[in-house]
Amino acid sequence: DRVVVMKQGEIVDSGPAAQVMTAPTHEYTRKLIAAAPRLSAHERRTASTQARIEFGGEPIVRVSELTKVFPLPKGEGERRSLTAVDAVSLEVRRGETLAVVGESGSGKSTLARLVLRLEEPTSGSISFAGEDITHLKGEKLRQLRRRFQMVYQSPFDSLNPRMTIEQLITEPLLSFGEGDRSSRSKRAVELSEQVALPDGMLGRFPDELSGGQRQRVAIARALALDPEFLVLDEAVSALDVSVQAQILALLDELQRERELSYLFITHDLGVVAETADRVAVLKHGKLVECGDAAQIFTAPQEEYTRMLIEAVPAFSA
């Protein structure tokens, strides 16, 4: 009913919610409101990024009829298995961001893990840059891991707390035997600059960094081997809106500079509007709708998609 806005320990704005949201008195409140993801952002996004995407060519990733069935432990009722991903077919074009949306439990993370070959599919196929990788094993699979990387939701869980930021960023280089100590150190500095980490962070440990800084470290680490394709699984979902907006801007900039393709997983349609070129909608493991972001937001074909869109908080400011 009422909102109190705090900045650096002090109240800078307060009042009835409608008043603070529509007529904020403090610049900081205006910034926070402006940083919140908006559905209308898809218009700006599509206008500015269509030129970058490679249409018609071989997509970087193509999955066909991909299915993952998990056996369920006995005693969980009648069902013996759960189909987490159910005959999903889609592709990611070079240079684009394909968002995968759906409620919690709809199969988004399982799909991501299948695409990156972190999970074995029950059936169906995955190809990467024109090569069938469904059954790739051993050294060939390992070499592929240079070319695609994953960024997770919670950088606190995915970053080893006992390693310094420099060690974390350069670990992929070390594990692929790239460079020597001094060249890796140099690379850590370059990467930390590219993700706009403040100076002096490289010797620190993850728990000495803010959430946004930790996510920058996770992104730097994912970029260390110069991949072509990134899977971002709820990578900004745990961040507050102003930090979220900064990370989204960083991802956008990196995409342009490096011609990266993203599979961007999120439950937040507002974030999708800010980042996606195309959108795939998952429900109970099935792909119910897939199309250009503009089409999904202005003319969703499925009731389920409409429901997800309506769940996004709207701002009048």
Ligand X SMILES: Nc1ncnc2c1ncn2[C@@H]1O[C@H](COP(=O)(O)OP(=O)(O)O)[C@@H](O)[C@H]1O
Only one of the segments 5-13, 56-64, 99-107, 297-305 lies at the binding site for ligand X (rule: CB under 6 A); that segment is: 99-107
Minimum CB distance to ligand X smaller for 80 or for 140: 80
Q: Which of 201, 7, 255, 316 is nearest to 247 (CA)?
A: 255
Sequence-distant (≥ 6) Cβ neighbours of residue 194 within 8 angstroms: 220, 223, 254
- Token output for 160: 């080893």
Only one of the segments 52-60, 97-105, 181-189, 215-223 lies at the binding site for ligand X (rule: CB under 6 A); that segment is: 97-105
- Residue 78: Cβ within 10 Å count: 5
Reported residue count of the chain is 317
Q: How far is the CB of 267 from Mg ion (least distance, A)?
A: 8
- Token output for 214: 């930790």
Which stretch of DSSP H or E encloses residue 182?
helix 181-194
Of 87-126, binders to Mg ion (CB under 5 A) are 108-109
Q: How far is the CB of 90 from ligand X (least distance, A)?
A: 15
Q: Which residues pair with 261 in a beta bridge?
A: 229
- Does 105 bind ligand X (CB under 6 A)? Our answer is yes
- Does 108 bind ligand X (CB under 6 A)? Our answer is yes
Minimum CB distance to ligand X smaller for 55 or for 70: 70
SS3 267: coil
Minimum CB distance to Mg ion smaller for 222 or for 231: 231
- Does 104 bind ligand X (CB under 6 A)? Our answer is yes
- Does 149 bind ligand X (CB under 6 A)? Our answer is no
Residue 144 near residue 136 (C-beta atoms within 8 A): yes
Minimum CB distance to Mg ion smaller for 42 or for 108: 108
Q: How far is the CB of 104 from ligand X (least distance, A)?
A: 4
- How many residues bind ligand X (CB under 6 A)? The answer is 11
Q: Which of 157, 122, 160, 129 is nearest to 143 (CA)?
A: 129
Of 16-75, binders to ligand X (CB under 6 A) are 70
What are 117-121's contacts with CB under 8 Å, separation 24+? 117/141, 117/144, 118/150, 119/68, 121/66, 121/67, 121/68, 121/85
| Binds ligand X (CB under 6 A): choice among 20, 61, 84, 280 | 84
Residues at the interface with ligand X (CB under 6 A): 70, 82, 84, 102, 104-110
